[in-house]
Chain A
Amino acid sequence: MALLELKDVSKTYRTGDLDLPVLKGVTCRIEQGDLVALMGASGSGKTTLMNILGCLDRPTRGEYWFEGQEVSRLSNDGRAHLRNSKIGFVFQSFNLLARTNALDNVRMPLAYAPHEVGEREGRERATKLLERVGLGDRLDHVPSRLSGGQQQRVAIARALVNQPSLLLADEPTGNLDSHTSAEVLRMFQELNRTDGLTVLLVTHDPEVARVARRTIRIKDGAIADDGRSEAVIAAAHA
């Protein structure tokens, strides 16, 4: 079953009198439980596509279906609700709340959940997720006392706290060294494999794209290439 589906999606920015088309009719499906890399050079429209997929932005034209729901027709509040309950975000620069401990950072999205989550349940959920990303002993550490890799793992735990159906990672390893990058990527793979979580990695780094089962390349606002990566196919055959 398709988790999300784009049908002829276009996005045009207006700067003064000039129309600047960024996406030109993108059509694609992403299946539930897939691990997809979205690649493209800067200026290719990759970020715009990610914003639309993450329900942060609306397409100028075309349809975007998320779990059988037409997102581009939703109001701002409707999309906020969808982001809260269905999508987990992981950013390049972690975006943790400064001077706030790991536990509170992870619990933050619960405050906006449409169905209220009790204090104790929220604490339990956050603790479990932090243990899962290997930070069970650092619940009360503030971001400045955590390494980059640890911060990104807190961010991943935060993305998972509302049990989303899609994990959207925007250059998740952009600020990490190669060792911690590998660690974080392994975590994405593991989440995808054991939980069946759909993961979308937005990157320009082929090393990152290599962990994905499927790679979508964007060029000049359109999909240039969409295919199963050889490594994964090979691994699947092996």
Chain B
Amino acid sequence: MRVTRTVGTALRALRRNVTRAVLTAVGIIIGVAAVIAMMEIGNGSSTQIQKTIASMGANNLLVQPGAASSGGVSYGGSSVMTLTPEDCEAMLKECPAVRSAAPVVRVRTQVIYGNRNWVPMYIYGTTPAFLDVRDWTDLDSGECFTDRDVRNASKVCVLGTTIERELFQGESAVGKEIRVQNVALKVVGVLSRKGANTMGFDQDDVVLAPWTTIKSRVSGSSAQTANQSAANAGAAAGGTTVNSLNQLYPGALPLYPVPSATQQADSPMPVRFTNVDQITLAAVSGPAMPQAIAQVSQLLRDRHRLRPGVADDFNVRDMTEMSKALSSTTDVMTQLLLVVALISLVVGGVGIMNIMLVSVTERTREIGLRMAVGARARDILRQFLVEAVVLCVAGGTLGIALGIGSSWVVSVLLHWPTESSPGAVVAAFAVSATVGIVFGWYPAWKASRLDPIEALRYE
């Protein structure tokens, strides 16, 4: 009740000189509007920059099998097969910091179309989620294969632009069939151009197919990381069995890889049906990377039944270089905006203080009168303080509207990316009220210190 009355008094006092009140508030209006517009535009471009960097793979993680060693001789990374597609599904389900994950099976072999051939840098057997992980979901033409294709080991594939150029020479590849290891894969889509990665490798030199297709139809085992004993066993088995499906399943793949003696000794696990060469996954955001690494590591240790003290049978790698670039870009952006925001609000606040001081001088007689009829020093202080705060909050509200409006205009006319930022709205509101209190304090205090006798006689 008291507060509403004080606010009412403040509003009446401000209404007595509308022009001046509005002009005073303009400082705050512009300040807050600038903050809001800057935040929205800045957020938009920051998100854009983050997206760009993220599409380079900044929030990607790579899980690879660990190293095997025998008699002190290490076979290097990925020399044992420990990852399964189920690991990949489990990561998606159980790690909240993981946005999407895709298993990858690699081969390196020749692809043929008509009278042309090419050996792509990457032939990846994977799932449609791979494109989501790599932020590569926009295709030039056609569309990606589906999860159903993965389940069915359908003979389909998606090409990078380099392959399309090399094999098709300007023709459209979609709908045509290419041959990989004598298996015909129908091209269902062509990826958009991604260019070279940070190491300079051409990322468009790629063929993507369902991993089941690569695994079971194209290559008996992973080309580069073949587990020799298993492959030999498979070959031997293939040699003695008559199989009319030999052409469809080259390499006479056994239904599941027979674990080697070392593998069995290291991790006595039930027979696994199939392995993948690596799992790529994307964290929900750049800052969530460490969480994602921790969650994935813990999950894989659990799933692989590794006792405490036993070394990991896998490696998790992140793109540290790029994630650093990502976070520093965002930090600089945010700090820059904060500084601009502070400066404009301080300027607005000084304007408020100036006008409030003039107002106190001008209304000296009024203050004297109010004191004579019983206003205490703190009543006067409160009245002027509330006036300043009302002015600032009203200005802040208008400023928020103006800021949102101008960022909208900018996004419509200039096509800059903008992004609304409710945090900035709340902060701008709080800051403008604080500016009112801070810069209204001195004039209000000055008013409350007036001597009523002097004030009443003031001309």
Contact = CB atoms under 8 A, between A and B. Distances in A.
B372 A112 contact: no
A97 B370 CA distance: 10
A226 interface: no
A95 to B, nearest CB: 5
B11 to A, nearest CB: 12
A108 B374 CA distance: 10
B377 interface: yes
A8 interface: no
Interface in B363-394: 365-366, 368-379
A95 B369 contact: yes
B285 interface: no
A56 B453 CA distance: 7
B2 interface: yes
Contacts of A64: none
A112 B16 contact: no
Contacts of A99: 15-16
A111 B5 CA distance: 8
A89 B12 contact: no
Contact of B374 (A84, A98, A104, A116): A84
A89 B1 contact: no
Nearest to A84: B374
Interface string A73-102: 000110011011100010100010111100
B456 interface: yes
A109 interface: yes
A56 B452 contact: yes
Contact of A77 (B2, B372, B376, B452): B376
Given A76-B376, A100-B16, A111-B9, A95 B456 contact: yes
Contacts of B379: 111-112
A27 B33 CA distance: 65
A90 to B, nearest CB: 11
B365 A95 contact: yes
Given A56-B453, A100-B16, A112 B376 contact: yes
A172 interface: no
A54 B452 CA distance: 11
Contacts of B368: 95
B375 A80 contact: yes
Contacts of A171: none
Interface string A109-142: 1011100100000000000000000000000000
A150 B379 CA distance: 29
Nearest to A51: B453
Contact of A98 (B5, B16, B373): B16
A109 B1 contact: no
A116 B375 CA distance: 14
Interface residues of A, number: 27
Given A100-B12, A100-B16, A83 B366 contact: no
Name the residue among A109, A116, A162 with the largest chain B CB count within 10 angstroms.
A109
B359 to A, nearest CB: 13
A77 B12 CA distance: 25
A158 B373 CA distance: 9
Contacts of B371: 80
Contacts of A109: 373-374
Contact of A91 (B366, B377, B456): B456
B12 A104 contact: yes
A220 interface: no
Contacts of A85: 374
Contact of A89 (B2, B372, B377): B372
A76 B377 contact: yes
B453 A112 contact: no
Contacts of B375: 80, 84, 111-112
B7 to A, nearest CB: 12
B369 to A, nearest CB: 5
A84 B5 CA distance: 17
Contact of A112 (B1, B12, B366, B373): B373
Interface in B1-34: 1-2, 5-6, 9, 12, 15-16
Contact of B372 (A54, A81, A104): A54
Contacts of A111: 5-6, 9, 375, 379
Interface in A56-71: 56-57
Interface of A: 51, 54, 56-57, 76-77, 80-81, 83-85, 89, 91, 95, 97-100, 104, 108-109, 111-113, 116, 158, 162
14 contacts: A77-B377, A83-B374, A85-B374, A91-B369, A98-B16, A99-B16, A100-B16, A108-B373, A109-B373, A111-B6, A111-B375, A112-B379, A116-B1, A116-B2
Given A99-B15, A112-B373, 14 more contacts: A54-B372, A56-B452, A56-B453, A80-B374, A81-B374, A91-B456, A95-B365, A95-B368, A97-B366, A99-B16, A111-B9, A113-B374, A116-B1, A162-B373
Interface of B: 1-2, 5-6, 9, 12, 15-16, 365-366, 368-379, 452-453, 456
